[in-house]
């Protein structure tokens, strides 16, 4: 059996370890000039870093503001009522569906689509005034249209 080692009391301080720590601090002690130089560098660098961060934030804000202003002035956004174009291949008919389509509009659209003869491409869309529906004969199928699957 071996001898048991007794644990030091919790309040006891290991003087050998404390002495070695104090010796290390003495070996690496900073001079007053090092402390002053560090403080001067921090005094210069902290405002510089803050200025760079503020400038970056202002530039980002200006960029976002320009992007949103461009989006508002984009001609496509002025015609946001244009919606999408649905294509019926067998009827050779295209319907420009606006974003705000009402119940009254459906009856008028149905009446105009009934006039499509299936030989020429036609486009049913809301007129420039925004209230009347028009039927136009077009030369070809609209390129930006979405084909509607044929019914059974």
pLDDT digits (tens, 9 = 90+) for 125-145: 887 766 788 888 888 888 888
Determine what percent of the chain is predicted with pLDDT higher than 90: 1
Q: What pLDDT, on the 0 to 100 scale, is given for residue 26?
A: 55
Q: What is the pLDDT of residues 76-122, one digit of tens each?
A: 444 445 578 888 888 888 888 887 777 778 888 888 888 887 788 88
Select the more confidently predicted residue: 60 or 12: 60
End-to-end CA distance of the chain: 94
Quote the DSSP letter at residue 30. Answer: P
Between CA 113 and CA 61 the distance in angstroms is 49
Q: What pLDDT, on the 0 to 100 scale, is given for residue 79?
A: 46
- Annotated domain spans of the chain: 26-73, 80-145
Give the pLDDT band of residue 66 (cuts 50, 70, 90). confident
Mean pLDDT in residue range 29-39: 74
- Is the overall model pTM greater than 0.85, yes or no? no
Residue 139: both structure tokens together = 């030369």
Q: What pLDDT, on the 0 to 100 scale, is given for residue 96?
A: 87
Select the more confidently predicted residue: 11 or 48: 48
Residue 133 Cα distances to 28, 44, 60, 80, angstroms? 87, 69, 44, 17
Which residues are within 8 A (CB) of 11 and not within 5 positions of it... i.e. 6 or more apart?
Answer: none
Between CA 109 and CA 105 the distance in angstroms is 6
Is the CB of residue 97 less than 8 Å from the CB of residue 85?
yes
Q: In the sheet that 133-138 helps form, which strands lie side by side, from edge to edge?
A: 133-138, 121-126, 93-97, 84-88, 146-147
């Amino acid at each position: 059996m071996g001898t048991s080692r007794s644990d030091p009391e919790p309040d006891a301080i290991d003087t050998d370890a404390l002495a070695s720590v104090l010796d290390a601090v003495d070996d690496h002690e900073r001079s007053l000039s090092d402390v002053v130089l560090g403080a001067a560098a921090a005094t210069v660098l902290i405002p510089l870093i803050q200025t760079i961060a503020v400038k970056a934030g202002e530039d980002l804000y200006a960029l976002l503001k320009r992007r949103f202003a461009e989006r508002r002035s984009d001609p496509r956004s002025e015609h946001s009522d244009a919606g999408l174009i649905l294509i019926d291949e067998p009827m050779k008919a295209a319907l420009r569906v606006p974003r705000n389509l009402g119940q009254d509009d459906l009856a008028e659209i149905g009446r105009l689509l009934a006039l499509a003869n299936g030989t020429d491409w036609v486009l049913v869309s809301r007129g420039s005034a925004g209230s009347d529906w028009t039927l136009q004969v077009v030369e070809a199928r609209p390129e930006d249209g979405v084909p509607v699957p044929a019914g059974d």
